[in-house]
Structure 1
Amino acid sequence: MTIRPAKKDDVVAIVEMIANDKLGMLREIFKIPLPDSYYEAFHNIASDPNQELVVLENESQIVIGTLQLSFIQYLTYQGGIRAQIEAVRIHEEHRGKGIGQRLFKWAIARAKEKRAHVVQLTTDKKRPEALHFYEKLGFKATHAGMKLHLP
């Protein structure tokens, strides 16, 4: 298996995985051709040096996993860097095989390379299985997260 930066050709496979769960199917539009908004977002992510969108390919070079790692520079922690993990997905046929754990180990190692002092993520309360998975990896629910959805 190989973890590599995502390419434009991977966007369809990534969006398909993102849309393929009970919450994703409510907010994503997975159809071929994909709406241009996904390609615009990919371009913005790929051109930002603080963003790393990666895919995990199996031995047949088929994309079976993805995540986005964002590096956030800020003034607290003496000018520290936070690594934010988002949009983690493993293709449904490959779940439960340690692939997600492998992807997270890569992300944590990458965060250390970039000298981040913390790796953080959020998970929807409607995904208790994800919360359990993250806790098994050593993540702790130390803060209360809040969101304000804008119209």
Structure 2
Amino acid sequence: MESIVFRSALLSDVPAIVALLADDAIGSHREVLGEPLDSRYVEAFRAIEADTNQRLVVVVDGNEVIGTLQLSFVPGLARTGMWRGQIEAVRIAAHRRASGLGQRMIEWAIEECRARHCGLVQLTTDKSRADAQRFYDRLGFTASHEGYKLAL
């Protein structure tokens, strides 16, 4: 994995990111693949790019996008004004799974949160993703809260 590079995503990476997001049973129902790229992805990318507390990241090997994640840096008053790092939308190309890349990505994201002086790193994973839950447990995350969502 010596040729692996972590970098901020470019607009030209968005189709590959969307393909990664869609490449599982849950994501295949949530994402819109096809040409041209759905304009909602472009709008979302532009909003993320403009916000200094957001970072959309790709992991590349040569010219191939093999992973992605989004980091959100969240300020808060609770816990004496502690900043939190939120890791979301972690995906790895199918042919690179079980290679150690996921652990490397999460460790990288944690270091980015430390660099931004976050006192806590948090993430969520769908309840149906048992493998992901075991993965995060193994990395030291604790399932300490019950999460809720309301679709609007």
TM-score by length of 1: 0.97
Unaligned runs of 5+ in 2: none
Q: Which position in structure 1 is the counterpart of 2:64?
A: 62
The Cα offsets for residues 97-143 of structure 1, whole Å up to 9 and x where unpaired, read as: 01111111110000000010100001001111111111111111011
Amino acid across the alignment from 2:22: A
- Written as runs of structure 1 = structure 2, the 5 A alignment for 1:122-133 is 122-133=124-135
* Number of residue pairs aligned between Structure 1 and Structure 2: 149
Rounded Cα–Cα distance in structure 2 between residues aligned with 1:115 and 1:93: 34
Deviation at 1:27, TM superposition (A): 1.1
Rounded Cα–Cα distance in structure 2 between residues aligned with 1:124 and 1:67: 15
**Superposition RMSD in Å:** 0.7
Q: Which position in structure 2 is the counterpart of 1:52?
A: 55
Rounded Cα–Cα distance in structure 1 between residues aligned with 2:70 and 2:30: 18
1:88 aligned to 86, 90, 95, which one?
A: 90
The Cα offsets for residues 72-118 of structure 1, whole Å up to 9 and x where unpaired, read as: 00111111101000000000111000111111111000000001010
The Cα offsets for residues 43-65 of structure 1, whole Å up to 9 and x where unpaired, read as: 0001100001100011x231100
SS in 2 for 1:56: strand
Deviation at 1:31, TM superposition (A): 0.9
Rounded Cα–Cα distance in structure 2 between residues aligned with 1:30 and 1:19: 8
2:144 aligned to 126, 131, 142, which one?
A: 142
Amino acid across the alignment from 2:6: I
Q: Which position in structure 2 is the counterpart of 1:24?
A: 27
Unaligned runs of 5+ in 1: none
Q: Which position in structure 2 is the counterpart of 1:73?
A: 75
SS in 1 for 2:118: coil
Amino acid across the alignment from 1:16: A
Deviation at 1:33, TM superposition (A): 1.3
